[in-house]
Chain A
Amino acid sequence: MIEPVTIAQRLVEMVGDRAEAQATMGVGEAALTRFANSFIHQNVADAERSVTVKVSVEGRVARGTDNRTDDAALAALAERTVEAARLSPVDPEWPGLAPAADTADIDNYDPDTAGASPERRASLVADFVSALPGTDAAGYCDTESLVVGFANSRGQRVSSRRTRATIDGIHRVGTVAGSGHQTSVRLADLDGAAVGAVAARRFRLSSDPFDLKPGEYEVVLSPECMATIAIFLAFYGFNGKAVTEGRSFLEMGATQFDERVNVWDDPGSPGSVGLGFDAEGTPKRRLDLVRSGVSMAATHDRKSAARVGGESTGHSVPGLEAHGSLATDLVVGGGGVSEEEMIAAVDRGLYVSTFNYCRVLDPRTMVVTGLTRNGTFMIENGAITGAVTNLRFTQSFVAALGAGRVLDLGSEVRFADSEFGPGLVRAPAMRLASWNFTGGAEG
Chain B
Amino acid sequence: MFDYATVAVEAALAAGASYADARVVDTRTEKIEVLNQQVQGVDRVETIGIGVRALVGSSWGFYATADLTDAAARQAGARAAAIASASAGVPGPPVQLADVPVSEAFWESPFVEHWADVSLSEKVDLLVRVTTAMQGVTGIALARAELGFFDTNKWFVSSQGHRIRQHIVESGGGYDATALGERETQRRSYPQSFGQYETGGYETVRAWDYEGNAARIAEEAVRLLSADECPEGEKQLILEGSQLALQIHESVGHAIELDRILGWEAAFAGTSHLDLATLGRHRYGSELMQITADATIPGALGTFGYDDEGTPAQCVDIVKDGIWVGVLSGRDSAARAGLPPGGMVRADGFNRLPMVRMTNVGLLAGDSSLAEIIADTSDGVYMATNRSWSIDDRRLNFQFGTEIAWEVKKGKLGRMLRNPTYTGITPHFWARLDMLAGEKERVHWGTPNCGKGQPVQIGHTGHSAPPGRFANVRVGVKG
Contacts and interface: CB of A to CB of B under 8 A. Distances in A.
A168 interface: yes
Contact of A247 (B48, B64, B178): B178
A168 B267 contact: yes
B477 A394 contact: yes
B392 interface: yes
Interface size class of A (residues with CB under 8 A): 35 or more
A336 interface: no
Contact of A38 (B90, B183, B262, B455): B90
Contact of A30 (B47, B387, B399, B455): B455
Contact of A170 (B185, B267, B351, B392): B267
A70 B62 CA distance: 25
Interface in A180-239: none
Contacts of B90: 35, 38-40, 122, 125-126, 129
Nearest to A362: B184
A399 to B, nearest CB: 9
B397 interface: yes
A369 B38 contact: no
A46 B63 contact: yes
A126 B300 CA distance: 43
A247 B42 contact: no
Given A63-B41, A362-B419, A442-B425, A122 B184 contact: no
A60 B35 CA distance: 15
Contacts of B84: 43
Interface in B32-76: 33, 35, 38-49, 58-67
B393 A88 contact: no
A61 B46 contact: no
A365 B479 contact: yes
B92 A39 contact: yes
A43 B62 contact: yes
The A interface, classified by DSSP as helix, strand, loop or mixed, is strand
B82 interface: yes
A61 B399 CA distance: 40
B86 A47 contact: no
Contacts, number: 272
Contacts of A32: 454-455
Contacts of B401: 359, 361, 369
Contacts of A439: 397, 399, 423, 477
A45 B83 contact: yes
A129 B90 CA distance: 9
Interface stretch (A135-143, A378-386, A406-414): A135-143
A435 B52 CA distance: 47
B62 A392 contact: no
Nearest to A417: B268
A35 to B, nearest CB: 6
Contacts of A121: 86
A47 B64 contact: yes
Interface of B: 33, 35, 38-49, 58-67, 79, 82-84, 86-93, 95, 119-121, 124, 128, 141-142, 146, 178, 180-181, 183-185, 262-268, 270-271, 351-353, 387-394, 397, 399, 401, 419, 421, 423-425, 428, 454-456, 474, 477-479
- The 4 A-B residue pairs with the shortest CB-CB distance in the complex, in nearest-first order: A39-B92, A118-B86, A367-B479, A122-B89
Interface of A: 30-50, 61-68, 77, 80-81, 84-85, 87-89, 91-93, 117-119, 121-123, 125-126, 129, 136, 138-140, 142, 168-170, 172, 175, 177, 179, 245-247, 319, 321-322, 356-365, 367-371, 373, 390, 392, 394-396, 421, 436, 438-439, 441-443
5 contacts: A40-B59, A42-B62, A91-B39, A356-B270, A368-B479
